[in-house]
Structure 1
């Protein structure tokens, strides 16, 4: 393990963001990094403490590993993790749904952990750029609060069953608490015995409602059988050991590549002779110790030359070279060009979210690969270089293969992207932390990485001027002192948005400077939150003069009373005054320049008409 740093300029100040990573060699023998934990912003002192802690841990592991190699003969301690968990699943509700062929995509956010079964037909689930085709052999697990799109996937009707459940965990005092299955990720599960799942599902669904205690116990037992059938996976293979001497040495190199590391030093650390260490290293990694160390240093240099803005001399020092000349010579041997040529050459970018793709296209830094929405693709189709652009969806095998073959100069994604460790195998990665940066700071960070910072600043200044003029025109509808709230209704739950990103918040509150209700200013914007879920009975606490509404209807949760028909909704000031404006969900989702430009035109037309 080692500490990896990313430098970000924010409000004129420099911040260092860190994560713990581990190194390994890919199939081609190249040194790669895998993210283990994101730490966020750290001071120099905190980072140094982390480095010392990691170094001490690795030294202890190295010493322990050497003793294990020699063989201590001591039995392993008993593993307490083999004890049975005290948590058990409790069924909340179940529903059968019938969808017509090729139904349009719906956005859903489950309120509890949920299993989605396909009894017949097919449909498709989408989340974070990944796609799951759901059929009779696949069950979709959806953790509470994680949104996803569900769409038709075949020519015939799709019959689905939705089962919502929670875990109940017994405490030391005998009481029960509810919790979610936090360790299981969103995704499709292919049970080993799908026929058994179908049988349990039918039995459970046809169990009469309103049973007595004994009947309820029977229903719960059927649900246990269903859960067991779904999560019954193949027996895992035996776990590997803690790593060979060379694997531990490789991890040490990836942590301390900046230091003057020698073969003799590492051989002594791991208790072998220098000659034996060299033979083992070449045998296990396919390259010599010196070449491995150089590869690790050059991979980090490649990233720093693109993202840090540091001088070549500074980059050389940061990756362990005392001589800038020697660093440049080694860099050219590996990359086929000098560091200066590498900085100046046109880059091949891969962007793993429509926001980043559209942002680069707007700034005329056309990515080679990227995820993009259809309406954005139509807009940019005539731009120079667009014919070389190829849409991808990160997470599917075809896209992964394309990026592995192309090996782009830079991959731009969010810090919570799926398979982030896989991306670090392919190329330098700019992982943008949504929670650490405002929408303007994200724009500047990506623009700086693409060498388009002046263009980004020019657009920002011009757009803010046009928003100021639009604000004056909107004053005919939104009078001084009146407030505006941004609502999103999904799965019949209501979320109130601030100004961080998405749902038009940046445009409404940052660009147009419209006044949020006190609730939004203090509870959401003031606390640096993206949004806050508000129960219908508490809507009077928001009670804005104008409501901008983004509504995502969902048939998965039609058993609830429609929020828009409730008395709590109808009692709001904006509803009574007829000042609720429903917006285009797709258009107001992002906050790239193209989206903001179109949102401004759309919102002004909507309000003034």
Structure 2
């Protein structure tokens, strides 16, 4: 057969020896020139290749082409297969290759092949060859997947390093050394995984970093250049214009096209009087603010991959999101990404930072002042009606019959109770380290083990099984004897959408709802 007047590449592999792994110890001197495959079922064994000692563990698969450089050492309770084969035609190149953990499928084929080799039947002469071919196909398929995974791991390590050190004098050779590969191989693999050459990727990071700085201030170009890794402002300006299409000064001055990839940051913009170019809108936010559909991204918690084309078409000047590293790499190709750490910043801090990005600091100050005045009025009313606040706990009950106890960093109204209205966390949830984790989960029935002066339940289950378990709990002696139950301080609010948000608009609405139940 021919293709474009050339012979099609063809390779045939013939098994020469198939033996138990422990038997190979006695055949090292007879290895000849043909390659081997070792598959370890169980135990572990040491080997020496080109003077270096290594160890194989259960489900490891080792392939090598040069038997003279290889020595299998004394195994330790080993079970496995050793297989030598002869290739005809073009050889699949590998001096030595390792699959750290072969699949169950691979191990099963190897065991079947070993068994067939010992009970070879002349009336089924091709069964052995068929199993051998199937084993080779599986081995090389998993070897390719393993290679891709290993490449991806060192590329990610390099990308992470560049993202921190982009302002330094980095070279391709330095990064290749860190990855322990040649500069040429580094370039090929880096481009395959990122879509960029090393120099273009470094340029993109530096320009995105300069854009982020220009969101807040317009420094001297030379200072900005040196801050992101360039020596001169004129060079930065040229590279900036090549990537962004406008000069740094114009970018600083222009109204920004903002994309928000979660509901909380969308709500922050709306509170500042700005509709994002594209944003994720929760059902609650949609109910209080009518926005044209062209500004809405599909998905309650946005999935970047499914909406990437829509985000690209919006031509964003800045993208705001929580710190999700797996999304950031693809988004950097479009615009600078401002990541706000979810649990480390309060809603007030996130609101303030976003107001700085869109130059609405005055609007932020006015909104926050009104909210603080509301808090003062609410505390004055609570002082009159309930006096000393005591302890409070917030639960969200799910359809899986799990109960989620929520702390301030996850909102659900707990940030208002603990930070604004003077309630305290009960000792039982402090013992669960909730201030560090943000929440913890227990079985629905276990919420009776966490007493508090006030109990708030912001969401109830909707499926029948979880409902039955809740009803059973509410009729239990353990629940009915809780002090908060006896004093009628358990509040079934059941407004999941309203209490889901951790933003200025949701917080204001949650405050209103909490005050309604506390003062009724």
* TM bucket normalised to smaller: 0.5 to 0.7
Q: In the alignment, is residue 566 of structure 1 matched against residue 476 of structure 2?
A: yes
Per chain length, whose mean CA-contact separation is higher, i.e. which structure has more relative contact order (CA < 8 Å, sep 6+)? 1
Residue deviations 1:109-137, cap 9 Å, x none?
xxxxxxxxxxxxxxxxxxxxxxxxxxxxx
Distance, in Å, in 2 between the alignment partners of 1:540 and 1:598 is 28
Structure 1's unaligned 5+ residue stretches are 1-71, 86-234
CA contact (8 A) 2:257 2:318 kept: yes
Distance, in Å, in 2 between the alignment partners of 1:283 and 1:414 is 27
Distance, in Å, in 2 between the alignment partners of 1:281 and 1:264 is 13
1:543: how far off?
2.1
Q: 2:374 aligns with which of 466, 469, 479?
A: 466
Structure 1 residues 457 and 76: alpha-carbon distance in aligned structure 2, compared to 1, 3 A threshold: farther
Distance, in Å, in 2 between the alignment partners of 1:81 and 1:489 is 40
Bigger radius of gyration: 2
1:142 equivalent in structure 2: none
1:409 equivalent in structure 2: 317
SS in 1 for 2:167: coil
Structure 1 residues 436 and 262: alpha-carbon distance in aligned structure 2, compared to 1, 3 A threshold: closer
CA contact (8 A) 2:215 2:357 kept: yes
2:338 equivalent in structure 1: 430
1:549 equivalent in structure 2: 457
1:353: how far off?
1.3
Distance, in Å, in 2 between the alignment partners of 1:337 and 1:408 is 14
Q: In the alignment, is residue 587 of structure 1 matched against residue 493 of structure 2?
A: no
Structure 2's unaligned 5+ residue stretches are 1-68, 70-92, 106-140
Distance, in Å, in 2 between the alignment partners of 1:483 and 1:272 is 62
CA contact (8 A) 2:457 2:492 kept: yes
Q: Please state which structure has a larger fraction of its residues in helix.
A: 2
2:519 equivalent in structure 1: 608
Residue deviations 1:247-268, cap 9 Å, x none?
99x9697776534467999999
CA contact (8 A) 1:498 1:520 kept: no
SS in 1 for 2:101: helix
TM (norm. structure 2) is 0.61
SS in 1 for 2:320: strand
Q: 1:441 aligns with which of 349, 352, 360?
A: 349
Matches within 5 A, 1:84-483: 238-239=144-145, 257-260=166-169, 294-306=203-215, 312-381=221-290, 389-393=295-299, 394-395=302-303, 399-416=307-324, 419-483=327-391
Structure 1 residues 348 and 440: alpha-carbon distance in aligned structure 2, compared to 1, 3 A threshold: same
Residue deviations 1:176-219, cap 9 Å, x none?
xxxxxxxxxxxxxxxxxxxxxxxxxxxxxxxxxxxxxxxxxxxx
Residue deviations 1:513-539, cap 9 Å, x none?
2344333456456x4332233567765
TM (norm. structure 1) is 0.53
